[in-house]
Structure 1
């Protein structure tokens, strides 16, 4: 595509408030933009895996980025796009997969970094839209909730987020014994990377240690093959770790819906989602609406997880375009 690209390393903040370094990529179309600052999309990718070679910046360089159709759609509209690789995905340390607080910080700081790149033409006052699905949905939901206190200077005009694993405990229970069980192990490994107080390594049995070792290096396709239809009880030495107060607290910290988003939200979810149950999306919609947020809720009928973004993603980008054009929003809370 006719774009200029910059690979970034920028300062962000971990889930526990410590400074860290995160990588990412800024893409700016070469076509001129008129009528004010060029819009900027803070793009958060869905699950890519936990190994460094899974980072979207690497995949963009090697031509293997599976979300390029949606990224390209934003670029063809003339918008700049900045993607975060998230904490520990492409930089030293382990990836904090499914840790919403870390992901939200990484998204917001990528947007901040984009405006500091000499010659990129991204204005600090540019209208910002946040876009993400699945893991990216969690990241953008948290970015939207954290922005008023963490990055109040950003001009966020809309948040398009879908397939959001808003209640991590409920998602874990749903996938216990299902095809997506490897994602439960990945999320546990991500929380272990973010927090020193959750019991993880010490409760894994031999099978659990072997599976987690593979999970920590796997990208999406391999990740799905590691332990399909597994159960938590088959990988640990305790009856059930989820009721442990330390896990309860950390999973609650990284579940969305506890704060009002910084801007209007387009929230979409497949009604037959086999990874993040549709009820979790409904609960997030209800939580945000109850707090007075402006939410456009869009179920995707008969759609499972991948079809949810295939159908809902383009519509979500169109909705962001309306926000950049300053058209009125309609909430269906």
Structure 2
């Protein structure tokens, strides 16, 4: 998760990101519009584009999403190189905090990791996630794993057909941390059935939010309580076909509406130390039957990744406890996943930096392997 001490900048209204539900039935990964941008603050960046592309919600409804594609400087001489889809950690539920907008402004807090991948000669695609970046479609569907996976995999499909690149056959790796790590492992789990056409060679994921229910219980009412409300808001949007909002009081409905437009700093500052029971008909909203179903449906390890996975975590992480990562490692090992694990004696934010070099090295080694056999049909 990004630095909560400074508010993220809010961009002026940009018609490029104006969205609505898609009225026709495009193929996942179809580019709906694109434009070139210049990233003058990233020395390793060559050409770059902002994309709006077609993807699917977690329940298969077509929806547009946004992202950024950056080629390395070396691509001007030797082609696009392998592709990395980078999954940023949670930036917020709305406003101007989408990575595509922050990258264009030179204000993306995770640009250092993106630059490190560009230095490897990789083309990097950064997914904003469903409901973030595009206006009129929010709030961001925070913690909705299948939706996040679709946004990641369909962005990779969009890069393959970007006319300015020759990337149809390039191999793919995925990397993320915290909620971005959650998106990465969900992409690994979903790829065999949702996107078997992609040559996914491997995934690196740090501090994975493998069990959102356990996470929000640990955060509720404390310094990070804004993330618990963000989870209620994001998952409520993802499961809008269910009467999930029935637990909210009138004050709770107003709090969710306000939270829907906030970045991370706003969420943490506004809702610090406020328990979710303040906004709900019951003090333990996560024990409501509908919410027990939602959270049970959002645990990782529900499918088996075919690509190798590298997991890492900080032993001093008080935001996403290391036990959550160890549990996911154990589940994946039981499923026979090609797996590696690394622990660092560091806290949450420090582990993002501590684990970056090995994560990139692992991904580079995965790119040297032969493609994983894929036989499942494509989901449309």
**TM-score bucket of the superposed structures, by smaller chain:** over 0.9
Whether the aligned pair in 2 keeps the contact of 1:214 and 1:226 (CA below 8 Å) is: no
Distance 1:164 1:24 in 2: 22
| Aligned pair partner of 1:88 in 108, 126, 131 | 131
Describe the SS at the equivalent of 1:141: helix
Describe the SS at the equivalent of 2:286: coil
| Aligned pair partner of 2:102 in 52, 55, 59 | 59
Alignment of 1:283-294 (within 5 A): 283-294=327-338
TM-score, normalised to structure 1's length?
Answer: 0.92
Q: In the alignment, which residue of structure 1 is the partner of 2:117?
A: 74
Deviations 1:267-301 (A, max 9, x none): 01111212111111111111111111011011111
Is residue 2:74 matched to residue 1:16?
no
Of 56-65 and 256-265, the range deviating more from structure 2: 256-265
Q: In the alignment, which residue of structure 2 is the partner of 1:259?
A: 303
How many residue pairs align between the two structures? 325
Q: In the alignment, which residue of structure 2 is the partner of 1:242?
A: 286
Describe the SS at the equivalent of 2:84: strand
| Aligned pair partner of 2:158 in 109, 113, 120 | 113
Is residue 2:356 matched to residue 1:313?
yes
Distance 2:275 2:316 in 1: 22
Distance 1:107 1:169 in 2: 23
Once the 2 structures are TM-superposed, how far is the Cα of residue 68 of structure 1 from its aligned partner?
Answer: 0.2
Once the 2 structures are TM-superposed, how far is the Cα of residue 172 of structure 1 from its aligned partner?
Answer: 1.2
Q: In the alignment, which residue of structure 2 is the partner of 1:130?
A: 174
Of 215-224 and 30-39, the range deviating more from structure 2: 30-39
Q: In the alignment, which residue of structure 1 is the partner of 2:143?
A: 98
TM-score, normalised to structure 2's length?
Answer: 0.81
Whether the aligned pair in 2 keeps the contact of 1:198 and 1:247 (CA below 8 Å) is: no
Deviations 1:178-222 (A, max 9, x none): 221111110110111111255554433355344323321111222
Q: In the alignment, which residue of structure 1 is the partner of 2:259?
A: 215
| Aligned pair partner of 1:27 in 70, 75, 91 | 70
Deviations 1:102-155 (A, max 9, x none): 000000000010011012232x22111100111111111100000000001111
Of 13-22 and 202-211, the range deviating more from structure 2: 202-211
Query: Mind listing any 5+ residue stretches in structure 1 that lack a counterpart?
Result: 328-333
Distance 2:196 2:66 in 1: 22
Deviations 1:11-33 (A, max 9, x none): 11101111111111111113148
| Aligned pair partner of 2:197 in 147, 153, 169 | 153
Describe the SS at the equivalent of 1:242: helix
Q: In the alignment, which residue of structure 2 is the partner of 1:275?
A: 319
Q: In the alignment, which residue of structure 1 is the partner of 2:216?
A: 172
Whether the aligned pair in 1 keeps the contact of 2:80 and 2:122 (CA below 8 Å) is: no
Distance 2:84 2:280 in 1: 41
Describe the SS at the equivalent of 2:341: strand
Whether the aligned pair in 2 keeps the contact of 1:127 and 1:155 (CA below 8 Å) is: yes
Inter-CA distance 208–274: structure 2 relative to 1 (3 Å threshold) = farther
| Aligned pair partner of 1:226 in 252, 264, 270 | 270
Distance 2:351 2:52 in 1: 31
Alignment of 1:175-194 (within 5 A): 175-194=219-238
Query: Mind listing any 5+ residue stretches in structure 2 that lack a counterpart?
Result: 1-42, 371-380
Whether the aligned pair in 2 keeps the contact of 1:188 and 1:200 (CA below 8 Å) is: no
Distance 1:305 1:36 in 2: 36
Distance 2:350 2:89 in 1: 13
